[in-house]
Amino acid sequence: MAFVNEYIPEADIEKYDLRRVCGERNLPSQAGQIHSRHWTIDRDLNSFLIKTWAHRDSDFSGYAFHWKNRWVFFEMRPVDSRISIDASSCWFKFIVKKLEVAGMDESDRSQLMSNLQEAITASPGGITHDYANRSATIEFIEE
C-alpha cells in the first residue's frame, strides 16, 4: 500500500493518543485538541503524517510523523507549487526544519527519510484534492 490521505477514524485518534500528542505541541489554549482531522497514512507500514499545529504568527506549521512506533516532529512550509490546468497533477516545494532523528542508525535514518519523503509527496491537497500525479521537492534546513 502507498501513503493515502483520509479522515482519521475515532478509534485511531484514541489508539495513537493524538489529542495528547497534538495538544502537547500546540498553543496552551489549544491543549488537547487535534489540529487536523485527516492524515496521510500507509497502513501496511503503520506510518502516518499529521499536522499538529498551525499559527497565524508563524511561517511554518508543526507536523508529526509516526514511524515504526516512533514519533518524529518537525516544522514545514510550502514555498512553491505548480498545479496543472486540469488539476490532475501537482508539484510542491517544501522547507523542513527542526527534524530530529538523533539516536538512529544510518539504515533506519535512511529508511525513515525515504518514507517521510513519500508521505510528504502524497499529502498536498489532503483529502480535498485528488491529484493523479503528485511530486514534491523537500529542502531540509538546520535551525
Closest CA to 6 of 41, 31, 32, 30: 41
Residue with cell 505541541: 25
How many CA atoms does the CB half-sphere of 126 hold within 13 Å?
10
Query: How much is the pLDDT for 128?
Result: 67
Whole-model pTM: value is 0.89
Contact 112, 96 (CB under 8 A): no
Question: What's the CATH number for 4-141?
Answer: 3.40.630
Amino acid 13: pLDDT: 93
Cα–Cα distance for residue pair 12/58, rounded to 1 Å:
29
Which residues in the chain show pLDDT less than 70?
A: 1, 28-32, 127-128
What pLDDT does residue 66 have? 97
pLDDT of residue 29: 67
Domain residues of the chain, as ranges? Answer: 4-141
